[in-house]
């Protein structure tokens, strides 16, 4: 899904204000189909009835549906957004067959899941790295407050 000015404005306001949002607003902020969103939120019947969805729940969905690069571009330097969630340019080389495999995996995931509609190879690799960090290492790294803030965002409390 292309990043447009309205999507950027919505997500900037959402991360700046850190308030619960309506189901309709959550779908716009997450950039997701409402029927998919219903399957992802904790209390779908309450959300449809008009109860707001907690900020942390929507923020976690944004992190799953926006690529790190798009989210980084959208949030800019909003106060309170963890500095270590900002993207870093990485130059690396891998064998061509692995890149081809990654591109095919990502294309398949994009076709199979609304959550992955904006998935890129770099965002896929970032997700995998996040998933495969062993907890012993994470606990050691969480001694750095900046790492802890980024790792726990938006309030995961995993360290």
Give residue-wise pLDDT tens across range 54-64.
999 999 999 98
Q: What is the pTM of this model?
A: 0.85
Which residues of the chain, if any, have pLDDT below 50?
Answer: none
Quote the strand ranges of the chain, DSSP E: none
Q: How far is CA 102 from CA 2, 89, 152, in A?
A: 21, 19, 27
Q: Could you count the other beta carbons within 10 Å of the beta carbon of residue 71? A: 20
Range of the domain at 101: 96-152
**74 and 16 in a common domain:** yes
Q: Is residue 74 part of a domain?
A: yes
**141 and 117 in a common domain:** yes
What's the confidence (pLDDT) of residue 39?
92
**75 and 28 in a common domain:** yes
What's the confidence (pLDDT) of residue 138?
93
């Amino acid at each position: 899904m292309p990043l447009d000015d309205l999507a950027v404005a919505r997500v900037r306001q959402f991360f700046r204000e850190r308030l619960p949002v309506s189901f309709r607003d959550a779908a716009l902020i997450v950039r997701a189909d409402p029927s998919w969103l219903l399957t992802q939120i904790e209390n779908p019947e309450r959300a449809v009835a008009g109860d707001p969805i907690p900020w942390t729940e929507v923020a976690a969905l944004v992190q799953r549906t926006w690529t790190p690069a798009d989210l980084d571009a959208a949030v800019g330097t909003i106060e309170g957004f963890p500095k270590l969630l900002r993207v870093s340019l990485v130059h690396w080389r891998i064998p061509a067959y692995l890149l081809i495999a990654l591109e095919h995996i990502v294309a398949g995931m994009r076709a199979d899941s609304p959550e992955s509609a904006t998935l890129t190879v770099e965002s896929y690799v970032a997700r995998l790295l996040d998933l495969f960090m062993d907890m012993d290492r994470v606990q050691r790294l969480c001694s750095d407050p900046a790492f802890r803030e980024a790792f726990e965002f938006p309030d995961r409390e995993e360290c």
